[in-house]
Amino acid sequence: MGCGTSSTAAGPPAAAGPSRLGPTPQLQANDNAVTGSETSEQPRDSSASRAGSSPSASASRRAPAASRSQQLSECSSRKEDRPEVTAAGCRPLSYHEALIAATPPAATTATATSGATNTPADLLAVTKRGITLCGLRKLRELWLKEFKADFGNMSTEDVEKCWIKEKTGPHKCCLLEVEEVVSPVDIIATPMYFISHAWKNKLALLLDYVLDSFLSDADESTGVWLDIVAVNQHSAIETQAATCMQAFKQVVQVCNGGTIVVMEIASCNPATRAWCIYEWAHTLATHGPDGFHAQLSPADRAAVVGQLDIRQAICSRIEDKQTILALVQQQHHSAERFNSLLKLQLLLEPLAYRVDLRRLSHQAAGTSWKFGAIDEWLEQGATGPRVLCIVSGGGEGKSTISAVLCSNDQTTGFGGKFDVHYAHHFLKYSDQRRLDAVNIIKNLAFQLGCRIPSMCQQLLQLNVAEVVQMTEMGDAFDLLLLQPLQALSQQQEPVVLLIDALDEADPPELQLAISSGGRTTCPRACGNLALQLLTRHLRHLPTNVRFIFTTRPDAAAGQVLPCLERTFPDSVTYLAPSALRSGSSSDSSGGGVMVYHTALQACHTCQGGAFVLQDPKLEDVYAVYSRIFTDAHAEYGSSSNAHQKARLVHDLLAVLMAAKEPLSQSFLQQLGLGDAISLLPGYPKLFFVDEHHLYLLHKSLGDWLLDPDLSGVFFASVHQGHAQIGGHLAQLWRQQQQRIQQQEPAWGSGSRSSPYLLKYMVTHLAAAADSGVNGGSTSSLDVRDAAFEAATADLNSLLQDLSFLSAALKAGHGPAIIGALGAMLTHTAWSYEVLRWLRSDLYNLVGKSAADLANRALAIAPGNTKIYQLASSTACPSWRTRLVLPLESGNWPACQAIFQDHTHVVKSVAFSPDGQQLASGSYDKTLRLWDTATGQCMAMLGGHSKSITSVAFSPDGRQLASGSLDKTVRLWDTATGQCMATLEVRTCWVRGSVGRSGR
């Protein structure tokens, strides 16, 4: 399509405003000439002149407040003097030229003299420079002092026109080069974050969000790239747009922490700005979803998705718009597809898998695959087995095969050899986001939407706010997968959903029990949510949708394979990884645990033929881990600061194993552990950084670190890791509340707490403050005691903060908080109080403000409890219950919790042998299993046609029996929630119950 024509005609006339990198002076050149340089007609002291003061920059900066207000008014009035260009004519400096214009004056002169053109490397060298957070704070203080109260209402454009142009005018340079403004020590060669924002939004809000919210706890030396300080807007160098675009891409790529998106929707929706849209798209292409940092409320997200259209977006220059549209056409074939993919990304917020695919594909290099069995399974289509299950022990290459299948390799991958629509999901035991059923559904829907245009259009018709706030597995499945795929089922195009590592979705305690070789007892009912998604929902997709799963055979307490058989009767094909590979040119292994050979590469003292095993077992992998750690600690011992290095590594391992999600480099830096990353044993093989996060090579390494019988002195003290993370999050919360109390300005969603903080802070602090939990080996009991005392103090303080409880409950984390407090073996002064309160009244507390929580506690909490006292001091009621209530009636009642979900009479209940679960049978024909600590219903089992009259657990808790008036006894598998057998009683119905022993 003709990009020039499209750009000119598309959309309404562009509003007044700056180029992408800021307001720029008019170029007094021929209307049709693009010289890219300033002419002699342009006054060199134009900044000072426009400021309404003498040519002396220093004199204008000393102007009194009244004069400054007048200057601001004049700056504002002149916005209309320079409209954004949508047709040929006098124009401001383009975004591309502004990138080139960042070249220092000397370099610019040399280039002009010699006639040479800048190479992409030159452009990168002069545009990638950033400013430290310390330097940015100094600039904010300077602007606050300069503009006083006016600064809060000034846009980025206002500050650039009335101050930055004045400061940089004498030297025609960027602000980073003005030493009296920005100290050289505050300039950083490689910034970590790129800041994307609209110039019409308030600069003060941008700075508040970046400095006081998103990067509030980052090291002061952390660098950011901000256009108003990094780019020279005074001159331009004529060059090809493609070269300039390459420079822009490299700037985004250099910022390896990703892009911080700052939005002020009420003032200017950045989705209406062409360069903002392109920055987002390029960030997602370069860094993936993990590098796209945009905290949006559901309403703001809906506004962005609703208005996003690259064709209608405003741009300062028609040339910029044409260049962007041309690249969009080249990369996505049409602007419509570009819009759809970016909207789909913002709608579904998919997780990133690039780290997994890149690492696993690297491990697969040199391996010869024989995928004939997979070819045959695919060719059978809907008439053949619906499920292909690749099953083997840990480390034998299941995930590697998944990565190869999901690659674009023309000989092995779905994207090349196989003509199918496909989507994949890699479960990860160390990343709770990967284990969330709604996230799994969103990720599968996103990938299918990207590959099936008609499904993409269906998804984009959904209510954005509704999709963003989805929490129920069934609702998400119906809306995002079932309905769109049913609409496509008539086409009968083959669709394959691949879900890797079902075993990693097992509850942590079950995984640890399996890895240590013990028999599992009392597994958590339906604890594997990925398996629940499969058995309850995915099975109901149209028959043209087929599945590939990988798993260990011992997953779900050994019931994963029987579970698949029960879900897909006579429709499961099993393969072993060894049957799909014919050997490797990179090693001499013929089978066994493949991760052994990767681990061996990290062991410097394991070189030689004696260590290259033909059929390594998991025990051999553990032996290599032990050797690597031993060698690393020996190296620490040879250095002058050996103890400090060992301590840092010990702390970092503890934090890694305690974390609920992969931790970013910036977060580890905030904890003071950033320098320990390169010291980790086996780095960068056993541990590696990719896309800003620190990862472990394989789950077996985590199993080894968490089992003291395997790792010995290298055992990771998870208790201590919880203390460090919890303490850090508590500090973040206190800082945020302090800013609120001081009534400091807050930007949009920047005032909100991070999802990780609200969801896991209590979990970390409760685990650290539980003195009944063995924290593992540590070199100093004093350190452990100090961590315990600090965690206890933080937890008690947090649980008395009704504003925190309000925010956490609104976010849906009430059951998680109850679970964390209920799991404590030894309670703190406040943990038991809050546990009793939440368990007794959770249904009525969700969604209430802090003040409403206090009033509710006054209504239901006993008079002598700490909760009542806290509520009384918060709400300050005019009446005094103490004077009329007897003291003995003011304590918590014997009833600890009320479980409510049944719709009819509950006839029978039974505790699991470990007392952690409760089964209830009701006249509503359902069997429910409850977590006794949280009161949360973990599963609802249906199948009886009449009232259930009796329930009982088996002695090991692995099975559950139920009797009913329908004259049947059903035997259920606890781990999967599936009915294993139905026994019929011909003469009468089943009544009564059996004892806890199962007899």
**Where residue 125 falls among pLDDT bands split at 50, 70, 90?**
low
**Where residue 324 falls among pLDDT bands split at 50, 70, 90?**
confident
Would you state the structure tokens that stand for residue 77, as one six-digit string?
């009035």
**Greater confidence, 415 or 944?**
944
Would you state the structure tokens that stand for residue 287, as one six-digit string?
């860094």
Q: How far apart are CA 975 and CA 995, in angstroms?
A: 21
Q: How far apart are CA 1 and CA 6, in angstroms?
A: 8
Mean pLDDT score of the chain, rounded to an integer? 79
Q: What is the pLDDT of residue 14?
A: 36
Is residue 106 predicted with pLDDT exceeding 70?
A: no
* pLDDT-wise least confident of 83-87, 361-365, 679-683: 83-87
Would you state the structure tokens that stand for residue 88, as one six-digit string?
């040929």
Is residue 652 predicted with pLDDT exceeding 50?
A: yes
Mean pLDDT of 945-959: 92
CB-based contact 151:139 (threshold 8 Å): no
Q: What is the pLDDT of residue 452?
A: 92
Of the candidates 771, 835, 830, which has an alpha carbon nearest to the alpha carbon of residue 801?
830
**Where residue 990 falls among pLDDT bands split at 50, 70, 90?**
low
Is residue 984 predicted with pLDDT exceeding 50?
A: yes
Is residue 997 predicted with pLDDT exceeding 60?
A: no
Mean pLDDT of 927-934: 88
Q: State the CB neighbour count (10 A cutoff) for residue 984.
A: 8
pLDDT tens digit string along 444-478? 999 999 999 999 999 999 999 999 989 899 999 99
Phi-psi region of 240 (alpha: psi -120 to 50; beta: other; left: phi over 0): beta
**Where residue 108 falls among pLDDT bands split at 50, 70, 90?**
very low
Q: Is 538 strand, coil or helix?
A: helix
CA dihedral of residues 561, 564, 568, 571 (deg, nearest 10)? -40
Q: What's 589-652 look like in SS3?
A: CCCCCCHHHHHHHCCCCCCCHHHCCCCCCHHHHHHHHHHHHHHHHHHHHCCCCHHHHHHHHHHH
Architecture of domain 353-517+525-580: 3-Layer(aba) Sandwich (3.40)
Q: What order do you get walking across the sheet with 937-942 strand by strand?
A: 906-911, 917-922, 926-931, 937-942
Q: How far apart are CA 831 and CA 866, in angstroms?
A: 11
**Greater confidence, 4 or 495?**
495
Q: What is the Rg, in whole angstroms, of the alpha carbon atoms belonging to the chain?
A: 31
Mean pLDDT of 344-367: 86
Start-end of CATH 2.40.10.480 domains in the chain:
906-984
Q: DSSP 3-state helix, strand, coil percentages of the chain (rounded to 5)?
A: 50, 10, 40
Top-confidence range, 317-321, 423-427, 692-696: 423-427
Mean pLDDT of 777-786: 57
CB-based contact 714:627 (threshold 8 Å): no
Q: What is the pLDDT of residue 533?
A: 96
Q: What is the pLDDT of residue 392?
A: 92
Mean pLDDT of 54-59: 34
Q: What is the pLDDT of residue 728?
A: 93
Q: What are phi and psi for residue 534, nearest 5 degrees?
A: -65, -50
**Where residue 415 falls among pLDDT bands split at 50, 70, 90?**
low
Is residue 884 predicted with pLDDT exceeding 50?
A: yes
**Where residue 358 falls among pLDDT bands split at 50, 70, 90?**
confident
- Whether CATH 2.40.10.480 fits 906-984: yes
**Where residue 93 falls among pLDDT bands split at 50, 70, 90?**
very low
Q: What is the pLDDT of residue 636?
A: 84
pLDDT tens digit string along 886-922? 444 577 877 777 788 898 999 999 999 999 899 999 9
Q: What is the pLDDT of residue 929?
A: 93
Q: What is the pLDDT of residue 583?
A: 56
Burial of 12 (0-12, 13-18, 19+ CB in 10 A): exposed
Is residue 38 predicted with pLDDT exceeding 80?
A: no
Is residue 100 predicted with pLDDT exceeding 60?
A: no
Burial 801-817 (b: 16+ CB within 10 A, else e): bbebbbbbbebebbbbb
Start-end of CATH 3.40.50 domains in the chain:
353-517+525-580
CB-based contact 645:681 (threshold 8 Å): no
Percent of the chain whose predicted confidence (pLDDT) is above 70 = 77
pLDDT tens digit string along 634-645? 888 766 788 889
Q: What is the pLDDT of residue 320?
A: 78
Q: What is the pLDDT of residue 296?
A: 81
Is residue 622 predicted with pLDDT exceeding 70?
A: yes
Burial of 837 (0-12, 13-18, 19+ CB in 10 A): buried
Is residue 107 predicted with pLDDT exceeding 50?
A: no
Interacting residues of 688 by C-beta distance below 8 A, sequence separation 6+: 359, 694, 695, 697
**Where residue 318 falls among pLDDT bands split at 50, 70, 90?**
confident
Would you state the structure tokens that stand for residue 280, as one six-digit string?
């987002």
Is residue 862 predicted with pLDDT exceeding 80?
A: yes
Q: What are phi and psi for residue 367, nearest 5 degrees?
A: -85, 135
Q: How far apart are CA 811 and CA 914, in angstroms?
A: 31
Is residue 18 predicted with pLDDT exceeding 60?
A: no
Burial 141-180 (b: 16+ CB within 10 A, else e): eebeeebeebbeebbbbbbbbbbbbbbbbeebbbbbbeee
Is residue 330 predicted with pLDDT exceeding 70?
A: yes
Q: What is the pLDDT of residue 607?
A: 66
Is residue 572 predicted with pLDDT exceeding 60?
A: yes
Q: What is the pLDDT of residue 109?
A: 34
Is residue 480 predicted with pLDDT exceeding 90?
A: yes
Q: Is 260 strand, coil or helix?
A: strand
Q: What are phi and psi for residue 313, nearest 5 degrees?
A: -65, 145
Q: State the CB neighbour count (10 A cutoff) for residue 665.
A: 18
Is residue 327 predicted with pLDDT exceeding 80?
A: yes
**Greater confidence, 172 or 226?**
226
Is residue 778 predicted with pLDDT exceeding 60?
A: no
Q: How far apart are the first and last CA of the chain?
A: 78
Is residue 740 predicted with pLDDT exceeding 80?
A: no
Q: What is the pLDDT of residue 80?
A: 39
Q: What is the pLDDT of residue 551?
A: 96
Is residue 878 predicted with pLDDT exceeding 70?
A: no
Q: What is the pLDDT of residue 753?
A: 59
Would you state the structure tokens that stand for residue 367, as one six-digit string?
């391996």
Query: Which pTM does this prediction carry?
Result: 0.77
Cross-strand bridge partners of residue 292: 259
pLDDT tens digit string along 801-859? 999 999 999 888 988 899 899 889 899 999 999 999 998 888 889 889 999 999 999 88
pLDDT tens digit string along 159-211? 999 899 889 888 888 899 898 899 999 998 889 899 998 888 899 999 988 98
Mean pLDDT of 247-274: 83
Match 């060298």 to its residue by tokens.
125
**Greater confidence, 103 or 255?**
255
